[in-house]
Structures are given as C-alpha cells and as structure tokens.
Amino acid sequence: MTTGPLSTLRRIASTRPPPVTGERCDMCAEPIGSDHPHVVSLESRALMCTCRGCYLLFTDQEAQLRYRAVPDRYLSFPGFTTDRGQWEELQIPVGLAFLFHNSVQDRTIAFYPGPAGATESELPLGAWERILAANPALDVLLPDVEALLVRHVDGQPVCHLVPVDACYELVGRLRQLWRGFDGGSEAHEAMDAFFAGVEARSRPVSERP
Ligand SMILES: [Zn+2]
Ligand SMILES: [Zn+2]
C-alpha cells in the first residue's frame, strides 16, 4: 500500500458526494426529507436511509429479521464509573470511543474516530463484562443499533447511549476534518459540538419516559 493518510484524505475529499438533495428511501425509493430514520442491515452493518413506513417494519428488536430500525433515544448514565485499569483496557487513543455489540458475531467492538474514518477493534476479552458488572445500567444498550459513547471529561469517564447512525455521522464528519495526528482544531470543534448535542438530548437512564 502506498496510500498514506494524506492521499486517503484527498481521495475522500474528491469522492465526497455533493450535498444531498432529493434523497430516496433505500428500500422503496419513496422520496424522503434530509431528516429521515435509518435501518441497519445486520449482516453488512450498512445503514440504509428509509421512509417512515419502511422504518416501522423493523422496529421490533426481537424479530428474526435481517434489518433493525435505529431508535432515536439518547441516554446518560450519571453513575457511570470505571476504575483506571478498566479505562486503560479500552485503549482509547484520542479520548473518545463508541462501543457497540454486534449480534451476528456476538462480540463487542470499539471504534475510534480518526483520519481514516474509524478504527475498529475488538475489546480485550472480558473487558466489556467487567465494565458491565460495575455499571449494570448499561444493560439497556440494544445490539447493532445503539452505541455507548465513552470519553473522559476533566479526568472523569462519561458515558452516553446514542443511536448508531449518529456515530456514523460523527465519524464521517471527522474524516473530512481530521488533520495530523490528533485531529486538529476543526475536528475537536466538531466533537465538542457533537457532545453538546448529545448532552442536550439525553435523559438520565433511571428516568422513565
Ligand atoms: Zn420506504
Ligand atoms: Zn440517511
């Protein structure tokens, strides 16, 4: 491979699609607005843009279907705690990771935004179970369609549950903005804006709707 991060960035910049207009449902081709729901293909993990009608076909999280609707809930976990060892096990390079459970492969995966989009790694064996044991509230996480956003704020671990399409959106934006090793100021501003949005939309996990 001769492609360094810079040529990758250039390639991504030059092949970036124009601003979306006239989007259509990936399932039935019905025209949809820019603020539309998504469905995940369990096999490929691809996100599909859908109309409301197609989305509603896949909202049953228990059904034996190839697709799952991505919910739109955001939760915070005020009591979230990890000890230093557990946090280090996550090996988060730029202080931010998304964790999600892949039900097809039955494994928990962490992904870290970066210059190439996202770096994916399987969590060390048992790491997830140890964090879950210390934080039973995290058990509400749905496989495939929701992710836990974990990061350090002023030295404290902070955790939110976010829809998986929101993660992809952030990763895509960061790929466009990323400069150098740590991302540079624009990437960090995009992350800060994303966190502020997540904070604003989240309700504490113990609260019932
Ligand atoms: Zn449709
Ligand atoms: Zn979409």
Give the range among 13-17, 43-47, 81-85, 171-175 with minimum mean pLDDT: 13-17
Question: Which chain residues have CB less than 5 Å from ligand 1, an ion?
Answer: 25, 27-28, 30, 51, 54
Cα-to-centroid distance, 45 and ligand 2 (Å) = 14
Span 72-105, pLDDT tens digits: 999 999 888 888 787 777 777 667 889 989 888 8
The torsion of the CA quartet 83, 84, 89, 92, rounded to 10 degrees, works out to: 110
61 CA from centroid of ligand 1 (Å): 19
The predicted pLDDT at position 68 comes to: 95
- Distance from residue 169's CA to the centre of ligand 1 (Å): 21
Question: C-alpha angle 43/132/163, rounded to 5°?
Answer: 45
Q: Which ligand is the nearest neighbour of the Cα of 28?
A: 1
Task: Say how many Å lie between the CA of residue 77 and the centre of ligand 2.
Answer: 27
Contacts 24+ apart (CB under 8 A), 51-56: 51/25, 51/27, 53/28, 54/25, 54/27, 54/28, 54/30
Q: How far apart are CA 3 and CA 107, in angstroms?
A: 30
DSSP conformation class of 72: -
Note the pLDDT of residue 94.
Answer: 67
Confidence band for 198, pLDDT divided at 50, 70 and 90: very high
pLDDT digits (tens, 9 = 90+) for 116-167: 777 888 887 788 888 889 999 999 999 999 999 998 888 788 999 999 999 9
Model pLDDT, residue 20: 52
Residue 108 CA to ligand 2 centre (angstroms): 24
Does the pLDDT at position 206 exceed 80?
no
User: Using 50, 70 and 90 to split pLDDT, how confident is the model at 186?
Assistant: very high
pTM of the model: 0.82
Q: Highest mean pLDDT range out of 27-41, 83-97, 176-190?
A: 27-41
3-state helix, strand, coil in the chain (%, to 5): 35, 25, 40
* 178 Cα to the center of ligand 2, angstroms: 22
Provide the token pair at 9. Answer: 């960035």
User: What is the 3 CA–ligand 1 centroid distance (Å)?
Assistant: 38
Among all ligands shown, which has an atom nearest to the Cα of 38? 2
